[in-house]
Structure 1
Amino acid sequence: MTNGSDERMAVTAACASLVAALTLAPLIQGVTWLFAAAIMVLTVMVSGIVGRQLARGWWPAVIGLQAVLLFLAVVVLFARGQIANPPGAVSMLTDLLSAGLDVTQSQSPPVESARGIVLLAAGGTGVVALAVDVLATSFRQPALAGLPLLAMYCVPAALLDDGLPWYLFLVAAAGFLLLLSADAGDRVRAWGRVLASAGERSSRTAGDTALARGGRRVAAAAVVTAVAVPALIPGLDSQLLGGGDGDGGSGGTVITRINPILDMRRDLNDPVDTDLLKYTTTVAEPAPLRIVTDDEYDGKTWKPSENEFQRANNIENGLPSAPGLTSAVQTEAATSDIEIYQLRENYLPLPYPAQQISGLNGEWLYDPETLNVLGRNVTTTKANYTVEFAEVTPTAQQLADAGAPPDDIVEKYTALPDDMPAVIEKTARQVAGTGTEYEQAVRLQDWFRVSGRFTYNTQAPASKNGDGSAQAIVDFLDSKEGYCVHYASTMAVMARQLGIPARVAVGFLPGSVQTEDTRIISSRDAHAWPELYFQGVGWVRFEPTPRSGQAAPDWTVPPSTGNDGQTDDSTTTTTEPETEENGASASSEAEVPDEQAAAADAQSSGGFSLPWQPFVLLLVVLLALATPRAAASVATRRRWRTARGAPGLAAAAWDDLRLGLSDLGVRWAASWTPRAVRQRLNDDYRLTTEQSAALDRLVEELEEAFYAPPSDDPGRPAADRRQDVALVVSAVAVQKSARTRRRARLWPASGITALSGAAASITARFRKGSSSTIEKNGPGEQQPRQKADSGAH
C-alpha cells in the first residue's frame, strides 16, 4: 500500500507501543523512564518513515536503519561519554543492563528510576516499538504485532503480586485495537470507492457507518470477554489482571534477598543501596547480624548442612545454649528489636547466639547444631520480632588455652574434598606456622588483613565455579584481590587444612547508625566471615576481610610486647585500615571503590537526567527529513478525500500526476493543455502501450469531466485512477537518475509546496484575525470548466 498508508501505520504503531508502555507505570517511580521510552519510540517511528522513503520499502534496509538509530539513541541517552568509543559504550550499557536486571530481581515495584532501570524500560520499549513497526508497517501483519505488545504487558503482570489493574489491560488492548483498525481502514480504502448513484450514496454512507459500529461492537465484546472470563472461570486467574495472592501468603512484597550460598557479589555491587531492615539493640558495638551458617564445603561452594529441622524444635520453646559455650566465658544478656523492611529469606536474621525470639507469625524451627532458624512455609517478609541473645566476649587467653575439641566436631568441621589444590594447604602452613590453634588462626587473620597486602575489591574476576570454590581460592591467593566471600572462604578452608574446625557465616555488617541504639542495614551491608571452634568457648567469629570498617574482634588481636617492654603494634590489626596506593579507604566492607561509588551515585533516582539537547537535535533532523514527504502524503489524502463526483476525482488524479512528475523534475508549463502534456510525455519518455493507455484514460476523464454534461455517475473508482497515476509516474521515474529518485522520495517538491501553502494560509488567517477566509478552491476542488484550457491541472 502506498500514498501515505505506511506513514499512517508507522504513526499508529508508535502510538500502540507507547500506550502499551504505560502498563509499566506501576513498576517504576516517576516519569523519567516514560520520557526516555517516548524518545525511543519516536526514533523508531521517524527513522522508519525516512527509511521507507529512501529504500523504497525494501524492509531489510529499513530495519537496519531503525536498529542503528535506536542503538545510537540508547548510547546518547545512557552512554554519551563513550559515544566515540563503541566498545566502551557497549560495555557501559552491558553494565547498566546488568545493574537494572539485578534491581528487578532484588527490589519490588515501584523501584526508583535508576539508570539501569530506565535503560531496561526505555530500551525494552524501543525494541518492542521496532518489532511492532516491522510487523505492522513493513510486513503489514498488525495481528502479529500484538505479540510484542502482549510481551510488554506480561512483564508488569508477572512482577506485580496483585497483577495489573483492569484499566491498564484496557489501555494495552486499546493500542492493539488501534493497530487493527488502522490496517483495516487501509485495506478497505484499497478496494476503491463503491460506484453508486446519488440516491444510493446516503444508504452507502449509512452502511459504512453501520459496518464501523459493528466493528466497534465486536472489539468491545472481545475486550470485555478477555477481562471477564478469567475472573469467572476457575483456574484462569493467572494474575494478569490482578487479584492474586502475595508471595508465600505473606501479603508483602520482596525487595531484596541475600543468597545464603555466598553469592553476594551482586548485592555488594548493586547500584541501588536498598534499606532491608532496622534494628534497635542494647549492645553499644553490635556484632554482625547472622542469617545462616554454612558448614558444608564441597570444593565449589559453602552451604548449610541438610539437617532435618524437627517440628519439636520450634522457637516458641526457646533456643538451646550455643554449642561449646561454657559458663567460664563472659556473657551479657542483650535484646534486639528487628523490623524487616524489604527482605525475603527462609532463614531468620539473628544475632548469635539467640536465646528467645518473640513476635513472629508462622512456624519457625531451629537447628540445634548451628542455631540457624528456618521458616516452615513462611519467610521473613515484613517480619517484626524481638530477640533475646547473649553477648559473648571471650578473652584471647581463654582461646589460647582452649583444649582439643571433641572428635565429632573435628571430623565434621575439618572435612574437605580430596582434590583440593595443594597450594592452598602449602600456603596455609607457611602463613600459620606452628603453635596453638589460636595462634595459627590469628596469624591467618593478620595475613589477610595486613601483612599479606590483600586488597578488598568487589569487582575481582569471578570464577566460573563460584567465588567460594577451590579454584577461586587459588586465584584469590595469586591475585590477592577479592571481597568478603573470598576472605571468609579461604580462611575457613585453610583453618580446616590446619585441623581447626571452621565454618562460614553469612549475614550483615552492623549497618549505619540512625540513633544511639538504632541502626539501618542495607543491601550493601551483606557480609561473610569465618567462625572457628575453640573448646570451652564454642564458635568464635574472626574477621579476615580488610577495609571492612569492622575492626577485628578484640579476642583475635593478642597484644605483644617488644624488647623495650612497650606494646608492639606491628603485629596488631588497626581499627582503621591503611590507605591503599590508590588513596581509597572504606569505612565499611559494603563500600565500593570510588569509581563504583560514583557509578552508584549516578544510578540513584536523582542521578539520571535525560540529555535533551542531542535528542532534540536528532529528532529535529529526522523530522525535517520526514516532514516534506509527510506533508505531501497529507495533501494527497486530503485531495482525494475532498474530491466529489467525476470532476473532482478527475482533477484529483490530474493533480497527483502533475505533482508526482514535478517531484521527479519534469517540466510542466501552466499553459500546457492535458493533450499537450500527454504528447510530451509520450515523446520524451517513450511510454509503453500499457503506460500510454493509463495516461490516455487520465486525459480523457479530465476532458470529459470538463465538457460533458453534469452526471451523478462518479465513473471509475478512485483506486483505479490512482493506480494509473502511479503507473505513469513510475514509468518516468525509472528513466531518471538514482539521485533524482531519492530526492523525490526524501524531499519531494510537492511536500515543500504543501508546507509553504500551509504556512501562507496560517499567516493569512493570523493577519486577518478570522477563520472565515479559508481558501475554498484547493488543488482537488478547482473549477475545471473555467480552467480547462489553462492546463494547470
Structure 2
Amino acid sequence: MSGIEDTSTQANAGVGTRRARRAGAGRPRAVGRGARGAGGWRPPTAGLAGSADRRSLIDLGAVSLLLVIALLGFAPVLAGGWFVVAGVLGLLVGVASGWLSRVLGLSAILTALLAIVLYFLVGTPAAIPGQSILGVLPTLGSLRGLAIGAVFGWADVLTLGAPAAAPDYLLVLPYVSAWLTGLVTAVLALRWLPRGTRSLGRVSVLLIAPAVLYAATVVIGTDEPFWAVVRGTAFAVVALVWLGWRNPFGRNASLQDRGTLARRKLVGTAVVVAAGVAASTLGGAVTSPTVDEARFVLRDVVQPPFDPVDYPSPLAGFRNYTADLDETILFTVDGLVPGDQVRLATMDLYTGRLWDVAGADVATNGSGSFRLVGGTFPEPELFTEADTRSLQVTVGGYSGVWIPGVGAPSSITLEGADTERAESVRFNASTSTTVLMSGLSEGDEYALTSETQVVPSDDALASVEPAAVSMPPVTDVPEVVASKMAEYIGNAATPIEQMRALETALHTKGFLSHGLASDSVPSRAGHGADRIEELFTRNQMIGDQEQFAAAMALMVRELGYPARVVMGFAPENVVDGQPTEVLGGDVTAWVEVPFEGVGWIPFYPTPDETEIPQDQNPKPQTEPQPQVRQPPRVEKKQEDLLTSVDTEDGDEDDKDEAFVLPAWVVWTAIGVASPFLLLGLWMLVIALVKSARRRRRRRAPTGHERAVGAWEELVDGHAELGFAVPVNQTRAATASSFAAQRARAGAKRRSSAVEAPAADPSVSAALRGLAARSDEAVFAGGDPSTEAVDALWSGTRSEVLGATRGVGWWRRLRSRLRVHRSGTARSHRADADRSRRRKGATSRVATGRP
C-alpha cells in the first residue's frame, strides 16, 4: 500500500512524472475504492477518463470486433443481410447497458433490469422493423416477437430450412446474442477487470463471450460454413494481437527501451498475422471435411417439426372415401350436435396441380406450421367463440396423421398413450388443425375439447371487410376462373355479397357427381388446373365437393381476398346425446374466408342436384295456368306503412362507441405504465429487504452486536445515498468523511460556487458522537446498556434521515433501489472479541489466576 499512497500523494502534490502516473494507473483498486492522499479520501470516479479507463475502452473495442466476427456465422441460416444490422444494434445496446451500469453504479439486478428495458425499446427497429410504428416505435406484436424469438427462436432456426426468412422473430437471434454477450463483456471490461491487477490471465477472461458466440453460430449453422477460413483467421489474429499488445511487459523501461520494445512488438505482430494466415490456409486445406464427411451441426440431430409436405394432400384422396370407404365406419364421435362438421385438414396453397398444405419453405406461419403442444392448445389468432364441444372419439376404419375434430381444439388427451406418443401431437393455431406424427389407427381413443366459430348473418357482415391474412401464393390458375368470377359476381358490391354470389352461382348452376358407376354422368377426379378448366368449359358444371370447393377458393383468391379449402366430414345421422358413426360417404369440403374481427366464415358451393340433364334439352311446352280470382284490395292506413324505429337504442350504441378507446391507446397505456409498476414493485422488495436487515441487526443477541449493527445501518444508509465509504478507516475518520461529503452534496444542490465547503459543525459533531459511542460499546469490555444501544439507534436513524434530506431527488430514488451491505461487521466483532480476550487475560494476571 505504500506505493499506492506515495503515488497518490505525488499526484495530489503536483508531481506529475510519467512513472507516477503509470504506477497509479497500474493499481486501479486504489482509484476504484478511494485513494488516500494529501487531499483526504477521494470517491470512486464515475467517468471514463484516465489511462485505466482508456485501456478498458480499448479492451471493449477489441472484444466487440471479435463479437462482430462471430455474428457473421448467422449468415447460412438467416436470409438477407439485415441480421448484421440487428446484431450490431444488439451489441451497442448491451455495451451501453454495461457502460451505464458503471456510470450510475448500479447493482447486478438493476443492471439486468436496465438492460432488459433497453432490449425491448431498441429491439423493434433493430430486429422486427416490419411490426413497428413509423419504423421505430414498438407494438404489442413486436414486443411479443422479441420475447418469443429470444426463447423459441433457437429451436425454430434449427428445424426450418436454411436460410430462413420467416417468421419475423428469427432476426431476434443475432440481436439477443449480441445484446447478451455485449452486456457481459462491457460489465467485465468496465467493472470487473479494473478491480484487480490486469494480468494476461484476467484479460483473457474477456475472450469467453466471443468464443462461446462463435461456437454457437457454428453448431446452429449448416454443413456448408460461411467463410470458415477467413472468419477463423480474423478471429485468431485479432485475439492474439490484442493479447500481445495488452501484455504489460516493459512498463517500467526507459523511453529508449520502450521504443525498441514497440518496434519489436510491431514486428511480432506482423509475424503473428502472417503465421495466422498461413496456418489457417494450410490447416483449412488439410483438415477440411471430405465429401463423405460433414462437420457436426445441431440441425442434423434435432428432430424437425411435422412437415406436411412429406404426406400426400388430403384433398387429393377425396374420391377414396366416396368410392372405397363409402359405408365404412371411420370413427365414432360422442358429443356432436346436429349441424356440426368434423374438420380434418386445411389447405391454403394451390400449385396448379392441387390444393395442399403449405410447407415451411413457403410459409412458416401458414397451414403447414405445426408446433409441439402439451395438453392445452393456444387460441387461434382470428376466432370468435360460439359454443364448446367435449368429444370422445374412437377410431375405426380411419388411419392417418390428421386428427378429426370440431371447430378450434383447445385440449386433447390420448387415452392409454405413452409419453413419447403423447408428445408427437402437433397443432396449427392459424388453421385449428391437429396432427399425430405417429398416426391414428383402429382402436385409438382420444378426448377432445374445442370451441365452434360464430357465423354471423349476411346483414351483420355487410360492413365487415375480409381480414388481411398473409396467405401462400396460388399459381397456374386457369384464365377461365377470373372470367367466371367476374360473371358470377355481377353487381355485388360488398365482400359478403360477392362471396354469396359466387357460392350461389356454383350451387345452382352445377350438378353433383362423385364419378361412381351409379351416377348418370361420369365425373373425373382431381382439382388441378385442367380439371378446373374442364369444370367451367363443359356444357354443365359436374363434380363434387373436391372440384366446387377448389374452384370457389380460386375465385375468391382471384378477387384479392384470402381463402382456404377445408376437408372434413358432415354426418347426417347426428342425434343429441348419442354417439355418431361417421362414414366415408360423409366426406365433404368447403371454403373459408376470414372476416376482420369475426373469424373464418364457411361457404358451401357444392350443389345438391344429382339429376344431370342431357346435352340437348327439348324446349319445354307452355301449359296454360288456371285463372285464380284475386282477393279484393285492402287499403292500408298511413301509420301501417310506417316502420317504428327505436332511436333510443341507437343513441346508446353511439354513446357506447364514442367512449371506446382504440386498442393501440390501451396497449400504449399498458406499455407506459408497466415500467412504473415494475419500479414500484422493485422499490417494495428493496424496502422489505432493508426492513429485514434492520430488524436482524436490532435484534442481535448481544449489546455490542446491536451497537455494531447501528453503526452499520448508518454506513449502509449513507452508501445507498451515493456517499463513498472509506476503506479500512476508523469510525471517527468515516464520520468525518461523511460530514464532508454531505456538505459538498448540500452545496451542489444549492448550486453554490464554493468548491470545498466546510462541514456543518452540528452534523460533524453528531456523526463523531455516534462513532465514539459505537467504539465505546464495542471496545469497553462489557455489554452496553439497552438505553445506550437504543440511543445509538435513534441517533443513527436521525442522521440517515438528515443525509436523505440533504441530497437531490435522483439520489433519493437511487437509494430506494439499492441495498448496501456493510462489510465491517465481522472485523468489528473480531476486534471486540480480541478486546475481551485481552482484558480477560489482564484480569487473570492481576489476580494471580491461571
Place the TM-score, normalised by the shorter chain, in its bin: 0.3 to 0.5
TM, length-normalised to structure 1: 0.36
TM, length-normalised to structure 2: 0.34
Indicate the structure whose relative CO is greater, using CA pairs within 8 Å and at least 6 residues apart: 1
- Whichever of the two has the greater Rg, that structure is 2
